[in-house]
Structure 1
Amino acid sequence: MKNIKANFLPLGLMLLIPAVNIMYGKLNNSINGCYNLVTSFDRDVPFIKEFIIPYWMWYPFVILSILYIYLNCREAYYKTIITIVLGMMLCYVIYFFFQTTVPRPAVYGNDIFSRIIRLTYRLDKPFNCFPSIHVLTCYAVDRGAGEVKKSSNKLIIDFFSVLIMLSTQFVKQHVILDLIFAVLMAEIIYRFFAVPILEKSLVFYKWTAFKFFA
């Protein structure tokens, strides 16, 4: 029983992600004004409605990737969770003080891709853009998967990470600066902050796990 708890209790840390994500809806507005970071590069990026499919694949992709990392490298799992949670919190602080928006194209047609895009636009207002949480989380799980030794699955995670990041551009949910700064933020947190936080939190976690749940 003790081994089962020790193996599966850490999975509960994944619940921090939806818990922190509650703030997304509260900040997804322009009450305090917003900025436009569109560049000439963004204007040249084509609108490709078929990329809405990989955009929506983000949800299962992140969950499955985190589970994969958890099963193969516990340290990388903790670092990935820390990077995502801390990164999301920093994103929300930025959204509060520096809200941005992305102009969206008019979407016509009754094909499945057009309908999914219109649904996406209705559900997700054009704010909370800089940096992109889609990109931040994809980069974080890709970094975590990179620590799993001798795994051919890393190429699969690489592929879908890049595909989802590109989808944020082609369906006009984000601009290029949203992508760049999300990657930089995730890399900085993963490389410089995840390990110190992990070392301190593991001491506390082991104490609580074995004292209170033994």
Structure 2
Amino acid sequence: MPSRTYKPLLWLLAIPLLNLLYALQNHSSTGVQSLVTEVDRNTPFIPAFSVPYLLWYPFLFIVLTLILLRDKRQYYRTLLSLCLGLLVSNLIFLMFQTTVPRPEVPAMGTFNRLVSLVYANDEPYNCFPSIHVMTSTLMLFGSAALRWQVRIPVVVFALSIIASTLFIKQHVIADVLAGILIAPLVYWAADLLLEKLSSRKKAPSPNAREVSRRHAIDE
């Protein structure tokens, strides 16, 4: 496989760079809101879902790589929409900070320890919308370029990540719904931006138009 095939993967560095914004805002501030509902209080705590939750980051990079190998434009659209989604999410965090109460996690058990690892490395803020949900939904859209044999595992894993946000009490229903709603909006916006960029590249430069005009006059 030619090395130039993989050069677009360098744009994946935009993801951790944009996530620096998340880290800067992931703290308590005045006016922190809680969107917990009775449904959230009755949602069971299932520590085993910490596995798909923790595998979210590798999942994004693997799926985006698979999309690139299948359809370059779809790769750029999915990645651009993801970056736009991160920007929109962080803007919302800045204006509307929320928190989610966390349960006491037993010390025993592998899955419980994994949940404790999540809690230790992520403060209970920046919840609305859920970035895990928004980006996983975008992987559902982007994976349309893949063969069905590959897409089915992608869909199953993306849905398990979305479910994990509720079952390990990292998010509430409102966060999940917001993430799902933002995804198609940024996916559509990314398509528009790529279309505009493509049309600009195809349009002849002023110099080229002038040369063409003079050539027509000479004829």
Same fold (TM over 0.5): yes
Matched, 1:194 2:190: yes
TM-aligned CA deviation for residue 82 of structure 1: 1.0
SS at match of 1:21: helix
Q: Which residue matches 1:180?
A: 177
Superposition map of 1:83-122 within 5 A: 83-122=81-120
Moved more, 25-34 or 129-138: 25-34
Shift of 1:30: 1.7
> 1:201, CA displacement in angstroms?
4.0
**Deviations 1:119-162 (CA, angstroms, capped at 9, x unpaired):** 211110000000001111111111001133x4321111110000
Structure 2 residue aligned with 1:48, among 35, 46, 49? 46
Aligned to 1:133: 131
Supply the RMSD in Å over aligned alpha carbons.
1.8
Q: Of the two, which has the highest radius of gyration? A: 2
What SS is found at the alignment partner of 2:145?
A: coil
Cα distance change on mapping 1:92 and 1:205 into 2, 3 Å: farther
Helix, strand or coil for the counterpart of 2:85?
Answer: helix
Rounded to whole Å, the distance in 2 between the matches of 1:202 and 1:13 is 18
The C-alpha deviation readout for 1:97-116, integer Å capped at 9, x for no partner, is 10000000001132111111
TM-score normalised according to structure 2 size: 0.86
> What is the CA–CA distance in structure 2 between the aligned matches of 1:125 and 1:46, rounded to whole Å?
21
Instruction: Report the CA distance between 1:94 and its aligned residue.
Output: 0.4
Q: How many residues align?
A: 201
Structure 1: how far apart are the matches of 2:197 and 2:9?
15
Match of 1:161 in 2: 158
Question: What is the deviation of 1:200?
Answer: 3.5
Unaligned runs of 5+ in 1: 207-214
Q: Is the 8 A contact 2:130 2:171 kept in 1?
A: yes
* Structure-1 separation of matches of 2:59 and 2:38: 31
Q: If the length of structure 1 is used for normalisation, what is the TM-score?
A: 0.88
Structure 1 segments, 4+ long, off by >6 Å, are: 203-206
Measured at CA, do residues 4 and 52 of structure 1 come closer, stay the same or move farther in structure 2, by a change above 3 Å?
closer
Identity %: 38
